[in-house]
Structure 1
Amino acid sequence: MSISLLLEMALSGDPERVAVVSEGTRLTTQELSDLADGGAGVIAGTGAEHVVYVGTGGALLPLLLFSSARAAKAFTPINYRLSAEGIQALIARLPKPLVVVDERYRDMVGDAGATVMESAEFVTAAKSAEAVAEFADPDDVGVVLFTSGTTSAPKAVELSHNNLTSYITGTVEFGAAEPDDAALICVPPYHIAGVSAALSNLYAGRKMVYLPNFDATEWVRLVGEEGVTSATVVPTMLDRIVTVLESGDHPLPTLRTLAYGGSKVGLPLVRKALGLLPHVGFVNAYGLTETSSTIAVLTPEDHREAHGNSDEAVAKRLGSVGQPVPGIEVQIRAEDGTVLGPGEPGELFVRGEQVSGKYTGIGSVLDEQGWFPTKDIATLDEGGYLFITGRSDDTIIRGGENIAPAELEDVLVEHPDVHEVAVVGVEDPQWGQAIVAVVVPAAGTDPDPEELRAYVRKQLRGSRTPDRVVFREELPTNATGKLLRREIVASLNDTATQTQG
């Protein structure tokens, strides 16, 4: 099934429904479809083999996504926050691209690509171009996304039309949205969550309201002004939204569902959000670029059941990512490939139609049975709830003992003087690696490092106690809320070098 068919189905449902709201632009489903037909004509006219977008998104994302699909060309949105050198290096890895770029980033692109068009120029051309509507083979590559490269150089993940549409049709009911339903989208266009939001909301029949440049106060205002009923945010966004909600009377009566994901969220923040918005159904969504988006969900019902539950096993599930979505199988494996049972930590493997596991220049990394190695360390409980404890690369090896940073982070973040925390391993001549807890103090507090170390020691084995506690004003994250542990380790190593010098 081609991505194009999702738009065709939405068009058959209600062509005059407002599909996209982005700053000053409002498009009905019919207008979006007409522009996508013209956009496909523009793409075909350039002779390009690939379509690239560099910009903040908004209406341009669904337009280019469907224009590319109707031209039967793969589409790649690129991280506009990269340096000019970084952007041009990624473009150079794509075959004969047409580069569409927002005006403010035009200089960043340079002369890269067979053809470069500014976004406004592309839209204008699409309005008058001869329409093209070609259905790509379902097994053809529909979208190529570059990984964030937080632990290695970015890989180009190839997602086929079938991967993407399998996820949408397996998790979203066609036309299920109410007439007044609206989704507020503020995730970056180059992230899988941005791509899947455009596809899933259109398929469900939900108005898409874009906030290309996130601001918590503006987010709250748009929820009220556009009658937003659902939204998806990353952890740093949720933290700032909660701060705004705490500072004034913002009931957000239309909001019914708030999904968060992209990185681990501290339980104190989740509990605070649940308390501020008791009428809202919270969803924790976990997925990867290679899996076409979400593969596990902690539902609103799961949140309500776990929040404050007297049964420790049930209450603990508030820190899980829930259960696998339909069509997804999961396994936890030991290093020797043995499938592990409940409560045993190992690497998470996933399998399903929405899973690609294929990279440009590398090929498929699926095993013979179609399982994809996520590189995430995880456990399953007796009820099939999935807990992600970190990346395999993040494991700290201290004195020959493997230590998951999340184990300490989950304890420290519950201390009243701790707002955020990241635990990392740094080189140590005695232990191989020393455990360092990097803490962002709660507002108005001045934590004592030894008190925090003692707090951990009371709840975990002595070998899990941080060797050091250091304080920072904030933790480095990327635009999707992922903690940049490499930057923390580099900063700590630089500090140690300067001290020794």
Structure 2
Amino acid sequence: MTDHPVPGGATWAGLAPVLRSVLDGDGPDALVVETSGSSGTPKRVRLPGPALRASGEATAQVVGGHGRWVLALPTHHVAGLQVLARSILAGTEPVALDPGMPFRPAPFAAAVAELGPGDGPRLTSLVPTQLVRLLDDPEGTEALRRVTVLLGGAAADPALLARAREAGARVVTTYGMSETCGGCVYDGVPLPGVRVHVDTTDGRISLGGPVVAAGYAGRPDVTPERFVTDADGTRWFRTDDRGVWRDGRLTVLGRLDDVIVTGGRKVEPQDVETALRRLPEVHDALVVGLPDPEWGQRVAALLVGAGTSAPSPDGLRAALAGTLPPHALPRQVLWRDGIPLLSSGKPDRAGVRSLLADAAVEGAPEAVAE
């Protein structure tokens, strides 16, 4: 067994030979990628060739075949790595943005133009923040119309998806994680060969099928708890996410530990975030629960303004009163220029929680509603 850790800043030239070797093999050799760390200490996930191939072939069935890719995400995380793997399966070379530069619409548009004509779809993988930046730019929006976007890494706001559709972009929402070779549920529907189980007690999502990883490298204490093989030989990964089936599609509600219990009542952070983003003063929002001596937890929000004056917490609560129940209204808000992100592009919920907790301790005047 040979493990090949994927280093930060890995390039197509440096990684392609190793990745091709793993994809061509049926043995235990595996690429090792780190999880994003959004829920704590990152883990190293072993991705063997058969799992990566199964993911790539299933994706091709759904998006219209193998094609050419724009690489706009870091390759040491699973979404970027999968752009390389799917390019190898397609027999193509991705057009990569400079990994050392911030994401900007102009270089993305140039990369899309470089894909050129040919058979098969034109594709890219993005996180929601990147999609927003492209839609905010005329050149970026035009480039979006020329590719299929696999959008993952974080929950996509319905308003953002509607805006992308109105702009003529084809966006496919993906759900998955490093332990499932990335996205394995597209627009709420499992990829071919993928199985989804939602526990009727707590809503925990388990994902099964050939895309499931071999386990965690160097973590025999955790692997058996998360990776399980059932009686019919299907390998499952038990996630920390909650979900529900709606009209035959999986809706991911959030993480099991993200539910806020305030005054004995549950609050879904995504519901509050969606309501906040609909306000004209709010461009983006991330909601977490913080310890509170009176309520157990209080609903707290980090907000990005939309260029207008920032309302007070009481003003926000009044604006949301007809949309959310009283217990779900934010009791603490903090305005910043942007939502902190991890290197994978996912929102840094742990970092946001710390920012809000520190602001409350310091008594920031805009932070807490009475």
The TM-score, its normalising length taken from structure 2, stands at 0.84
- AA of the residue aligned to 1:275: E
- Residues 272 and 438 of structure 1, relative CA distance in 2, 3 Å threshold: same
CA contact (8 A) 2:58 2:193 kept: yes
Which residue of structure 2 lines up, in the alignment, with residue 255 of structure 1?
Answer: 146
- Deviation for aligned residue 1:410: 1.6
Aligned to 1:437, the other structure's residue is in SS state strand
- Deviation for aligned residue 1:445: 4.3
The TM-score, its normalising length taken from structure 1, stands at 0.64
- Larger Rg belongs to: 1
Counterpart CA distance in 2 for 1:455 and 1:421 is: 15
Which residue of structure 2 lines up, in the alignment, with residue 265 of structure 1?
Answer: 156
- Residues 323 and 187 of structure 1, relative CA distance in 2, 3 Å threshold: same
Q: Percent identity?
A: 29
Aligned to 2:98, the other structure's residue is in SS state coil
Q: Number of matched residues?
A: 347
Counterpart CA distance in 2 for 1:385 and 1:51 is: 35
Counterpart CA distance in 2 for 1:250 and 1:428 is: 43
Please tell me whether residue 374 in structure 1 is matched to residue 239 in structure 2: yes
After superposition, the C-alpha distances for 1:321-374 in whole angstroms (9 at most, x for unaligned) are: x211111111211447xxxxxxxxx11111111112611222332345243211
Which residue of structure 1 lines up, in the alignment, with residue 315 of structure 2?
Answer: 451
Greater relative contact order structure (CA < 8 Å, 6+ sep): 2
Which residue of structure 1 lines up, in the alignment, with residue 31 of structure 2?
Answer: 143
Which residue of structure 2 lines up, in the alignment, with residue 186 of structure 1?
Answer: 72
1:270-419 pair list within 5 angstroms: 270-276=161-167, 278=168, 280-298=169-187, 322-335=188-201, 346-356=203-213, 358-360=215-217, 361-362=219-220, 363-364=223-224, 365-367=226-228, 369=230, 370-381=235-246, 383-419=247-283
Which residue of structure 1 lines up, in the alignment, with residue 9 of structure 2?
Answer: 55
Superposition RMSD in Å:
2.7
Which residue of structure 2 lines up, in the alignment, with residue 43 of structure 1?
Answer: none
**Unaligned runs of at least 5 residues, structure 1:** 1-47, 71-134, 299-321, 337-345
- Deviation for aligned residue 1:227: 2.9
206-215 vs 476-485, which deviates more? 206-215
Please tell me whether residue 486 in structure 1 is matched to residue 350 in structure 2: yes
* Of 128, 133, 136, the match for 1:243: 136
Counterpart CA distance in 1 for 2:141 and 2:286 is: 31
Counterpart CA distance in 2 for 1:453 and 1:184 is: 42
Counterpart CA distance in 2 for 1:253 and 1:492 is: 35
Counterpart CA distance in 1 for 2:174 and 2:4 is: 30
CA contact (8 A) 2:106 2:140 kept: no
Counterpart CA distance in 2 for 1:259 and 1:170 is: 14
Which residue of structure 1 lines up, in the alignment, with residue 49 of structure 2?
Answer: 161
Counterpart CA distance in 1 for 2:150 and 2:54 is: 21
Which residue of structure 2 lines up, in the alignment, with residue 85 of structure 1?
Answer: none
**Unaligned runs of at least 5 residues, structure 2:** 365-370
- Deviation for aligned residue 1:188: 0.7
CA contact (8 A) 1:397 1:432 kept: yes
- Residues 357 and 462 of structure 1, relative CA distance in 2, 3 Å threshold: farther
CA contact (8 A) 2:245 2:251 kept: yes
- Residues 414 and 139 of structure 1, relative CA distance in 2, 3 Å threshold: farther
